[in-house]
Amino acid sequence: MTKIGKTCIVTGGGRGMGAAIAREMAARGYDLVLMSPSDSCEKLAAELGGAARRGVSQSAEDLRAITDLAMATHGRIDAVLNHTGGPPKGDLLDITDEDWIRGNEMVVLSVVRMARLVTPVMQAQGGGSIVNVTSYAAFEPSLMFPTSGVYRTAVSSFAMLVFGPLRPRQYPHELPAARLYRQSGCRKVRRSGGAETHRPGR
């Protein structure tokens, strides 16, 4: 593959959809910096010639560490995929405060914290892309995934507020979400609206 001198961070980048997107970005010539809770990110990074660090999206320290790794290794951050596992679930009114707080940390604050870290970098270098993987539950709330539906809707609102004034009008290189779902091995695809692309500064 031909390198294009751009760097992509993928959280949750060891398996499933995260791994599929990492492979796609590698095929497009991006240098990869991957994060996941297990050694799966390290194995995939070794296969694709990237860098990796174990961590979880709900940890502010881990997010700072992965962005620091990207800057130390490549000196720039051109693309970020925010991808996290499913937040706690259960009967709606039986979900504890602790689980609601954990879901917020996993889904919303992970996106907010990453935006704080990478947006100034992208603006300084003249552009970049942030993709937040959400869920059909952000558009069609389901009692099967209550915290996910509530918080992934919040992610969409945050992204529109923080990146709205900075987004270009067209996205000629946007990744086709449905194809990436298929590559990750998911059996059911629900709306391509589950992945949102935002480009700070341009």
Residues 83, 91: Cα–Cα separation, whole Å: 24
The residue count of the chain comes to 202
> What is the predicted pLDDT for the residue at 29?
97
Higher per-residue confidence, 122 vs 140: 122
List the domain range (segments joined by +) for residue 72. Answer: 7-198
Q: Tell me the per-residue pLDDT of 144-158, one tens digit each, with 9 for 90 and over.
A: 999 999 998 999 899
Distance of CA 31 to the CA centre of its chain: 16
As for how many domains the chain has, the answer is 1
Residue 2: inside a domain: no
Residue 35: inside a domain: yes
Q: Which of 102-106, 113-117, 185-189, 195-199 has the lowest mean pLDDT?
A: 185-189
pTM: 0.81
Residue 189: inside a domain: yes
Residue 71: inside a domain: yes
Sign of CA dihedral 170, 3, 130, 74: negative
**For residue 154, what are its two tokens?**
């919040």
Q: Give 43-47's long-range contacts (Cβ < 8 A, gap of 24+).
A: 43/14, 44/13, 44/14, 44/19
What band does 190 get if pLDDT is binned at 50, 70 and 90? very low
Residue 1: inside a domain: no
CATH of the domain at 82: 3.40.50.720
Strand 31-36 relative to strand 51-54, pairing: parallel
Residues 6 or more apart whose CB falls under 8 angstroms from that of 32 comprise 7, 8, 10, 13, 22, 25, 26, 45, 48, 49, 50, 51
159, pLDDT greater than 60: yes
Residue 113: inside a domain: yes
Residue 16: inside a domain: yes
Residue 101: inside a domain: yes
